[in-house]
Structure 1
């Protein structure tokens, strides 16, 4: 029996993305509509439909829970954003989502054509190597997003023409879970860039990469709800709310480590203690 070729191995990625397409698109669109669509466009459409669903459903459920079911429990009444503020955030995000979703579709194209260091099965490298690579990937992404975010503030034209779109929501009574994707489209791509660049330098399990992108979408909802979870070393909403009010602190994404290392960390618990 002939040994598998590189083309055979790359086909595993195509089969996986095709399964994702079938899960999202298969139940929504007739097969005769999907058949003529190129594989790349199916991936974009799946990302767009899935991303829109995740954004709207997770944001709506979380807003319903914290602003209605638990009204005045987690946040004082004057910190609850208005419906107009949330609708504005949804509008900004929905205009950007088609562009956001083209980026992972392009990433999948590069993976399927063997341009990255992605591997399809954990058994290809073993569990120890997989966990080491995952740790390297997460550190790379955390470092990259920290510096992209920080430079979006430090480089004035980038702030003025890109990041300012997101920073019109700067107080508790304007921030909501829907602010999580309310970015200029180009900024959203820049902040996602470390996830993609990592694939070219670190061997990465493709399914894990896809799962982390999904987690990323949920995470952006969480860190804009203004509720501080107090789970060290997680960069929770308490830290990110400070970022929206001072502009010079807490640039990190999942954790506080990069802010701690580079001197930009500001702790919400210590801030509250100083007010007492």
Structure 2
């Protein structure tokens, strides 16, 4: 099938527009304008991803550890500054590699390899939302099994995922732990976003937005605050994952863990802890 180059140029024009918006506000033009398009896109993703990580992390930490101190978490559950700085250090080492993934996916979209489309008007709004829902189901399924295999396959855990699981107690987890992974681990857990592009039609800008929402979501599920909104895989569930290593592998929802028998409910966990405390008191 012949490739419609004029149509594909819409994607190139759009990524070039995003590149100019970010790079022109953060760097002198002589530093980025001579770069090839691919490297401009990577630089934009790197700078935007880094800013998003720090802004979301600092704002959320300020809110839960300062403005709402002892409301959401007791003082002894707040991670030390040293722990948070280590998480930032690990995340910053990996960030250049993390942001290579959306750059490669954008390049594949610009080349016409995926089912991405450029304008929402090409489909009805109903199909737009159906495609997003289908895309997210595929992503959820892919992340669940990728995450679970990073635990079950011992070399993958030892050499990749263990970097993230040094944060295994409530007072060591913070929003900054959300991206504190070995670079390859972080890429593997995000790659279902790219695989889904080849299976279901998805709006280009929506795909980019969902990829960057990952940064905010991962910060949220590492703050140890149980939102208790069914069926969301909130921080209460994910904290159990960090303490037991064998439950709650899901990302956005609890459905995959429920379907595949790995779900553990934080409210039931709290009830069991209270019962154990009562027995000891008796």
Aligned to 1:23: 21
Counterpart CA distance in 1 for 2:65 and 2:153 is 36
Q: Deviations over 1:180-203 (max 9, x none)?
A: 000000001100110000001111
Q: Deviations over 1:203-254 (max 9, x none)?
A: 1111110111121110000000000011110000000000000001000000
1:188 aligned residue (164, 186, 189): 186
Question: Alpha-carbon deviation of 1:68?
Answer: 1.4
Question: Structure 1-normalised TM-score?
Answer: 0.97
Question: Alpha-carbon deviation of 1:33?
Answer: 2.7
1:221 aligned residue (211, 219, 222): 219
**Residue 124 (structure 2) pairs with residue 91 (structure 1):** no
Which is worse superposed, 170-179 or 125-134? Answer: 125-134
Counterpart CA distance in 2 for 1:165 and 1:37 is 34
Aligned to 2:234: 236
Counterpart CA distance in 1 for 2:14 and 2:266 is 42
How many residue pairs were aligned?
A: 272
Counterpart CA distance in 2 for 1:23 and 1:214 is 16
Aligned to 1:249: 247
Give yes or no for contact 2:90–2:180 (8 Å, CA) kept in 1: yes
**Residue 206 (structure 2) pairs with residue 208 (structure 1):** yes
Aligned to 2:117: 119
Gaps of 5+ in 1: none
Question: Alpha-carbon deviation of 1:72?
Answer: 1.6
Counterpart CA distance in 2 for 1:91 and 1:7 is 42
Gaps of 5+ in 2: 275-282
Aligned to 1:155: 153
Aligned to 1:45: 43
Question: Alpha-carbon deviation of 1:31?
Answer: 2.3
Aligned to 1:62: 60
- Look up the SS of the partner of 1:209 in the other structure: helix
Counterpart CA distance in 2 for 1:48 and 1:207 is 17
Counterpart CA distance in 2 for 1:95 and 1:233 is 33
- Look up the SS of the partner of 2:70 in the other structure: coil
Q: Which runs of 4+ in 1 moved over 4 A?
A: none
What value does the CA root-mean-square deviation take over the aligned residues?
Answer: 1.0
Give yes or no for contact 2:135–2:196 (8 Å, CA) kept in 1: yes
**Residue 138 (structure 2) pairs with residue 140 (structure 1):** yes
Question: Structure 2-normalised TM-score?
Answer: 0.95
